[in-house]
Amino acid sequence: MTFTQLQGNEDVKKALVGMVDSGRIPHAILFQEDDGGGAFPLSIAFLQYLFCKHRSGGDSCGQCPSCGKIARLIHPDVHFIFPTGAGMLSEQYMEPLRKLYADKPSFREAELLEALGLSGKIPLIAVAESRRLLEKLSLSALEGGWRAVVIYLPERLNAEAANRLLKMIEEPPAQTQFLLITHQVDKLLVTISSRCQRIRVRPAGAAQEVEFADAELLDELMSALLDKDLGGALELSDRLAQLPSREHARAFCTFASERFRQVFLAQQGIEGVGEISPQARAWAARCRKTFPREALSVLDRARTLIGRNVNLKILFADMADRLYLLI
């Protein structure tokens, strides 16, 4: 799977290419998608680009042995973890996964469970997976160079498995890339999500969201937050609650998420992955290094609640309060 074979998410593809080309790749990337939204094939395209020795023009060659192995999910240095039946490991279910991916790259969760023979069950990722992964990562890469771990539905990790995974993400071996794909980021261990670069993946052909034109609202909110003026931040939350529609409220969250992504890039000194606004550079110099990633969680939560018809006045007041504690 190459980037050119994927439709949509052009900004995401450009960002991923920029990470590899600049050599500034977060050791853990969390792709957030709606069920069947295309994050799995996007992850494969990213790994092909990362591993490919002949990449050019912003894409992998798609022809070399490395590209071929990754495309068929058989590369020995790419490990897959996903929910399975009790007492079973993901590696024991790789053949059904390969067949499903070949037939339908952007598969849905229910389709995976059906392919694995687990329909009607609620499978988990057990601690045995973490132990097995630790064993694999303790060895050298079989083909030299990069290794990767793709974790599908990390929200299904049991508590012990999640804690073991956290340790691996915090201190990964050299040239080891973690890719996580989640449908319910709010159910993922916060200590894991906060250590990942989060990227929202939208289904190909998804309708364009309402554009948010009033950038001054975010500027004023950030000014109040950076000045530790909770009253001012709550006043701005009242104004946000008066936006014309829920679509506009959701558009604000999307706009703010993009600005906070720029703050992260500015703090990390990553250039060439997209435009970084002057406001984002200014905010980057004043807020905590942990703020951008944690703020993205707050905005994702707000977006979800907007879709559930939560009262906007309460929602934005809660959002402002949470951001105030993070700044």
pLDDT tens, 127-165?
999 999 999 999 989 998 999 999 999 999 988 899 888
Asked if 197 and 233 sit in the same domain, the reply is no
- Backbone φ and ψ for 200, nearest 5 degrees, come out as -85, 125
pTM (global) more than 0.85: no
What is the structure's pLDDT at 116?
94
- Domain closes at, from 201, 231, 247: 201
Mean pLDDT computed over 217-233 = 96
Asked if 228 and 136 sit in the same domain, the reply is no
Mean pLDDT computed over 112-119 = 92
CA distance linking residue 7 with residue 132, whole number of Å? 35
CATH of residue 294: 1.20.272
Reply yes or no on whether the pLDDT at 78 is more than 80.
yes
Residues 6+ apart with CB under 8 A from 213: none
What is the structure's pLDDT at 261?
87
Asked if 173 and 314 sit in the same domain, the reply is no
With respect to residue 207, please indicate whether it lies within any of the assigned structural domains. no
Quote the domain boundaries for residue 72. Answer: 3-201
CA–centroid distance for 326 within its chain: 20
What is the structure's pLDDT at 245?
87
For the chain, how many structural domains are there in total? 2
Mean pLDDT computed over 21-26 = 92
What is the structure's pLDDT at 209?
53
Asked if 123 and 225 sit in the same domain, the reply is no
What is the structure's pLDDT at 233?
96
Asked if 165 and 192 sit in the same domain, the reply is yes
What is the structure's pLDDT at 308?
81
Asked if 153 and 242 sit in the same domain, the reply is no
Asked if 274 and 317 sit in the same domain, the reply is yes
Q: 23 or 211, which is more confident?
A: 23
Asked if 119 and 256 sit in the same domain, the reply is no
CATH of residue 76: 3.40.50.300
Interior CA angle at 79 toward 76 and 83, to 5°?
145
What is the structure's pLDDT at 273?
58
What's the chain's average pLDDT?
Answer: 91
CA distance linking residue 153 with residue 295, whole number of Å? 22
Residue 238 CA: distances (Å) to CA of 163, 252, 266, 292, 326: 39, 14, 30, 23, 20
Asked if 121 and 146 sit in the same domain, the reply is yes
What is the structure's pLDDT at 19?
92
DSSP code of 210?
P
Note whether 240 and 312 are within 8 A (CB): yes
What is the structure's pLDDT at 274?
61
CA distance linking residue 279 with residue 142, whole number of Å? 45
Asked if 243 and 162 sit in the same domain, the reply is no
Residue-wise pLDDT for 196-216, tens only, equals: 988 989 877 554 556 677 889
Asked if 227 and 311 sit in the same domain, the reply is yes
Residue 94 CA: distances (Å) to CA of 81, 82, 89, 112, 203: 10, 10, 9, 11, 25
List the one residue out of 271, 247, 260 whose CA is nearest residue 297.
260
pLDDT tier at 191, thresholds 50, 70, 90: confident
